[in-house]
């Protein structure tokens, strides 16, 4: 308690008398990077303040930064925290993003439009505002279409798999927890093994592992990662990445949840089987399902394990 | 005579000053003591949670399912103090931290029998009873004392929103389903009124919750 009181006094004293200059890591250039030898690149951009969590952070929904980042909402580090003074959630701002090999920061924050004029923030805690734009999909519903970037750099859509039963799940290659993404990889490997070795099994099926991390999981990264689970046989198992926009379209309908936490992503697990006409056949939530259940669902969705009609 | 009055008053000057200094030191010391006492007697730390609802909140009626598969409704909680948290088992760090602290609260309140711990899942499709059971066992949850609840997504989200947390519609696709301050621990009194919110990640939170419970027990309405 007393120590707390003393440190409180110390904090007050420091706060009162300290240098008002914001603290920043000494390694970073203090002036515009162009004037230093650190090869940071600068990107003038524009966005809306979504959250001001305190400290030197600001959560900003920014516009596309050509050549660097798609339109997205990110927590950014503000170099000069005095530039945050007077900013409110909802303000439209311009700023310059600086990025070098291992860090980023933003400077020159300027409000161009005040909050109320721009963002019609729906009142919180009102059901109307929360009604999802897209309802959750049930078995029998048609899957929404979205474009993905494959491990070979091609663009592929969900509808491209029509005619085959499709099992897809969501992962990211930097996912560290063995019972999350790696478990999805292992279940897919086992299920594919079961289907390949099952006598009279259908052949019109496909596995698709989709990354939530399109900026990091570029095609070569995915192709490399795929080998951990697929070995040298890529037969009917594709890896692809979903763009932020594609994810935003399909997440709600699938009850897929994800949030960036630094270089990691906090997420739940959703594995979906579509039948050969593109309709939801079955959804496996979480990580407790078994490979044989997935293989059976896929075989069924491919339409072949249906009892054959007696020949007249 | 009168002339010495001036010299006579001169020696009194330093004395007056001494008294004045003495008095001001006393006053300053007293003031300091008051401040220190006020600081030491301050209520448990409430980390600012600016977006928490300002209006008084009450636990709304509900019908959900516990991790042991049994149905639980608000009626099962009557007459108890509630220590409430929010979780999704796919969570990497925060839920673990908060659950560790709730385990301490469970241990400390086991004998009293007047406290019910409740964790609402924000991701109920993932957190089906067997999944919650696995999570509950990690924290030695007693199925009677610590409910980890799941159910229909719309129902459980309604209960969380109507009773405890506001929601950001822009973030509903996050694992926290858009609930703000979902790392909070809420304390509900015996009448069902939400009385305190604590930062569930604060290292002292279990002690703060126990202290607040102790204070609530003293209130007449809660006797």
How many Cα neighbours within 13 Å face the side chain of B23?
Answer: 6
Residue A104 included in any domain: yes
Q: In chain A, which residue's Cα lies nearest the Cα of B164?
A: A125
Q: Using alpha carbons, select from B92, B90, B96, B152 the residue that is nearest to residue A184.
A: B90
| Model confidence at B74: pLDDT above 80 | yes
Window from A46-55, A65-74, A155-164, A290-299 with minimum mean pLDDT: A65-74
Q: Which residues of A touch B131 (CB under 8 A)?
A: 286, 288
Say yes or no for a CB contact (<8 Å) between B90 and A267: yes
Residue A6 included in any domain: no
Q: What is the distance in angstroms between the Cα of B22 and the nearest Cα belonging to chain A?
A: 25
| Model confidence at B128: pLDDT above 90 | yes
Residue A135 included in any domain: no
Instruction: Using the 3D structure, point to which of A77, A100, A118 is the last residue of a domain.
Output: A118
Among the partner-chain residues A73, A122, A257, the one whose CB lies closest to the CB of B169 is A122
Average of per-residue pLDDT across A161-173: 96
Say yes or no for a CB contact (<8 Å) between A259 and B174: yes
Strand ranges (DSSP E) for chain A?
41-54, 57-62, 72-77, 92-99, 104-113, 147-150, 155-157, 165-171, 205-211, 237-242, 258-261, 264-267, 270-274, 280-285
Q: Which residues of B touch A290 (CB under 8 A)?
A: none
CATH number, position A64 = 2.40.50.320
Q: For tokens 């860090």, what's the residue?
A: A103
Residues A158, A290 within the same domain: yes
* Residue A11 to residues A8, A18, A57, A254, Cα–Cα distance (Å): 5, 10, 20, 48
| Model confidence at B58: pLDDT above 60 | yes
Q: Which residues of B touch A73 (CB under 8 A)?
A: 170
Residues A108, A220 within the same domain: no
Q: Report which secondary-structure segment, H or E, holds B81.
A: strand B81-87
Per-residue pLDDT tens over the stretch A295-306 = 999 999 998 443
Contact indicator for B77, B84 with CB cutoff of 8 Å? no
Window from A91-100, A129-138, B47-56, B195-204 with minimum mean pLDDT: B47-56
Per-residue pLDDT tens over the stretch B8-31 = 445 556 677 787 888 888 888 877
Q: Which residues of A touch B126 (CB under 8 A)?
A: 268-269, 285-286
Q: In chain A, which residue's Cα lies nearest the Cα of B93?
A: A266
Residues A58, A163 within the same domain: no
Residues of A with CB under 8 A from a CB of B: 1, 5, 8, 50, 73, 122, 124-125, 129-130, 132, 136, 177, 180, 247-248, 251-252, 255-259, 261, 264, 266-269, 285-286, 288
Share of chain A above pLDDT 90, in %: 52
N-term to C-term CA, chain A: 89
Confidence of residue A262 (pLDDT cuts 50, 70, 90): confident
Say yes or no for a CB contact (<8 Å) between B170 and A50: yes
Cα A229 versus chain centre, distance: 21
Share of chain B above pLDDT 70, in %: 82
Residue A136 included in any domain: no
Residue A307 included in any domain: no
Distance from C-alpha of B27 to C-alpha of B19, rounded to nearest angstrom = 12
Write out the DSSP string of B161-193.
Answer: HHHT--B-GGGTTSTTTTBTTTTEEEEE-TTSB
Q: In chain B, which residue's Cα lies nearest the Cα of A179?
A: B90
Residues A255, A166 within the same domain: yes
Contact indicator for B190, B26 with CB cutoff of 8 Å? no
Q: What is the distance in angstroms between the Cα of A286 and the nearest Cα belonging to chain B?
A: 5
Give φ, ψ of A270 to 5 degrees. Answer: -130, 120
Distance from C-alpha of B81 to C-alpha of B217, rounded to nearest angstrom = 9
Cα A105 versus chain centre, distance: 21
Q: Which residues of B touch A286 (CB under 8 A)?
A: 90, 126-128, 131
Q: What's the complex ipTM?
A: 0.72
pLDDT of residue B23: 82
What is the number of structural domains in chain A? 2
SS percent in chain A: helix, strand, coil, step 5 = 30, 30, 40
Residues A154, A86 within the same domain: no
Distance from C-alpha of B6 to C-alpha of B13, rounded to nearest angstrom = 11
- For residue B74, the 8-state DSSP code is G
Distance from C-alpha of A34 to C-alpha of B123, rounded to nearest angstrom = 47
- 3-class SS at A49? strand
Residues A165, A262 within the same domain: yes
Confidence of residue A9 (pLDDT cuts 50, 70, 90): very low
Residues A214, A283 within the same domain: yes
CATH number, position A154 = 3.40.30.10
Is B174 in CB contact (< 8 Å) with chain A? yes
Q: What is the distance in angstroms between the Cα of B40 and the nearest Cα belonging to chain A?
A: 7
Write out the DSSP string of A165-191.
Answer: EEEEEEE-TT---TTTHHHHHHHHHHH
Residue A14 included in any domain: no
How many Cα neighbours within 13 Å face the side chain of B214?
Answer: 10
Residues near A18 by Cβ (< 8 Å), separated by ≥ 6? none
Q: Where are the alpha helices (DSSP H) in B2-152?
A: 5-40, 94-109, 129-138
Confidence of residue A257 (pLDDT cuts 50, 70, 90): very high
Who wins on pLDDT, A167 or B38? A167
Among the partner-chain residues B90, B126, B172, the one whose CB lies closest to the CB of A130 is B172
Instruction: Using the 3D structure, point to which of A118, A137, A162 is the last residue of a domain.
Output: A118
Distance from C-alpha of A37 to C-alpha of A41, rounded to nearest angstrom = 12
Residues A160, A249 within the same domain: yes
Residue A137 included in any domain: no
Say yes or no for a CB contact (<8 Å) between B167 and A288: no
Fold observed for domain B63-222: Glutaredoxin (3.40.30)
Please give the residue range of the domain that contains residue A69: 30-118
Confidence of residue A10 (pLDDT cuts 50, 70, 90): very low
Say yes or no for a CB contact (<8 Å) between A285 and B175: no
Write out the DSSP string of B37-73.
Answer: HHHHTPPSP----TTS--S--BPPP-EEE-TTS-EEE
Confidence of residue A261 (pLDDT cuts 50, 70, 90): confident
A·B CB contacts under 8 A: 78
Say yes or no for a CB contact (<8 Å) between B90 and A266: yes
């Amino acid at each position: 308690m007393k120590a707390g009181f003393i440190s409180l006094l110390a904090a007050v004293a420091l706060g009162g008398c300290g240098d008002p200059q914001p603290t920043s890591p000494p390694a970073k250039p203090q002036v515009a990077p162009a004037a230093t030898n650190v090869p940071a690149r600068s990107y003038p951009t524009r966005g809306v303040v979504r959250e001001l969590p305190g400290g030197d952070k600001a959560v900003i929904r920014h516009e596309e930064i050509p050549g660097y980042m798609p339109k997205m909402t990110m927590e950014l580090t503000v170099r000069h925290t005095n530039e945050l003074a007077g900013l409110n959630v909802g303000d439209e701002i311009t700023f310059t993003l600086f990025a070098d090999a291992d860090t980023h920061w933003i400077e020159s924050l300027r409000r161009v439009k005040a909050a109320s004029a721009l963002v019609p923030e729906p009142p919180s805690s009102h059901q109307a505002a929360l009604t999802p734009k897209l309802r959750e999909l049930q078995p029998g519903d048609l899957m929404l279409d979205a474009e993905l970037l494959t491990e070979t750099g091609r663009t592929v859509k969900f509808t491209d798999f029509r005619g085959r039963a499709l099992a897809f799940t969501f992962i990211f290659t930097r996912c560290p927890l063995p019972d999350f993404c790696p478990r999805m990889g292992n279940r897919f490997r086992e299920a594919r093994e079961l289907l390949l070795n099952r006598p009279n099994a259908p052949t019109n099926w496909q596995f698709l592992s989709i990354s939530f991390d399109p900026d990091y999981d570029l095609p070569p990264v995915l192709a490399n990662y795929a080998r951990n689970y697929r070995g040298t046989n890529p037969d009917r198992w594709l890896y692809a990445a979903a763009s932020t926009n594609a994810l935003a379209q399909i997440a709600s309908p699938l009850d897929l949840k994800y949030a960036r936490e630094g270089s990691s992503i906090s997420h739940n697990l959703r594995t979906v089987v579509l039948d050969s006409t593109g309709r939801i056949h079955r959804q496996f939530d979480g990580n407790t399902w078994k490979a044989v259940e997935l293989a059976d669902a896929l075989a069924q969705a491919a339409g072949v394990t249906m009892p054959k009609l007696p020949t007249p | 005579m009168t002339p010495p009055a001036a010299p006579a008053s001169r020696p009194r000057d330093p004395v007056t000053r001494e008294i004045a200094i003495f008095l001001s030191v006393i006053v300053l010391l007293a003031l300091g003591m008051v401040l220190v006492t006020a600081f030491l007697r301050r209520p448990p730390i409430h980390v600012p949670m600016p977006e928490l609802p300002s209006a008084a909140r009450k636990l709304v009626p509900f019908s959900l399912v516990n991790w042991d598969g049994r149905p639980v409704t608000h009626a099962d909680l009557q007459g108890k103090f509630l220590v409430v948290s929010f979780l999704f088992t796919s969570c990497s760090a925060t839920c673990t931290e908060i659950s560790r602290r709730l385990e301490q609260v469970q241990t400390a309140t086991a004998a009293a029998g007047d406290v019910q711990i409740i964790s609402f899942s924000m991701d109920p499709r993932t957190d089906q009873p067997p999944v919650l059971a696995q999570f509950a066992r990690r924290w030695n949850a007693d199925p009677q004392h610590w409910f980890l609840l799941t159910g229909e997504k719309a129902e459980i989200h309604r209960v969380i929103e109507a009773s405890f947390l506001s929601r950001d519609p822009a973030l509903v696709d996050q694992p926290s389903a858009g609930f703000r301050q979902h790392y909070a621990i809420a304390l509900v009194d015996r009448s069902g009124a939400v009385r305190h919110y604590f930062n569930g990640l604060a290292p002292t939170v279990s002690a703060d919750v126990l202290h607040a419970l102790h204070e609530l027990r003293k209130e007449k309405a809660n006797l």
